[in-house]
Amino acid sequence: MVAGGLIIGASGKGGGYRLCRSPEEYTIGEVIELMEGPLAPVACLSSGAAPCPRAAECETLPLWTEYDRLTHDFFYSKRLSDILPKESPLQAGTVS
């Protein structure tokens, strides 16, 4: 997550990790994709995928496209702050 620009490391006494932005500015989708990879259910719908030569004949593509849009919209509409307890240290911008 450090390499992805979501958190920064703090060394020394009291070190740990800190969020680069406030929890309200992080979407759950960006965190999942950074940690797990693309949310796309099939490779041909991944960002930057080459056009599939069989797309015109693919009877399941509309199903996967709709599912992809639903999951993307769901996870990108949720914020890190939505799932944190009100008194969480993350609300203050630090993680240990």
Residues 6+ apart with CB under 8 A from 30: 6, 76
Residue written as tokens 């740990």? 16
Higher pLDDT, 2 or 27: 27
Q: Residue 87 pLDDT > 90, yes or no?
A: no
Give the pLDDT confidence score for residue 73 in this predicted structure.
98
Give the pLDDT confidence score for residue 91 in this predicted structure.
54
Q: Residue 76 pLDDT > 90, yes or no?
A: yes
CA distance 66 to 70: 6
Across the strands, what pairs with 27? 79
pLDDT (average), residues 5-32: 81
> What's the whole-model pTM score?
0.71
For the chain, give the mean pLDDT. 85
What letter does residue 53 receive in the DSSP assignment? T
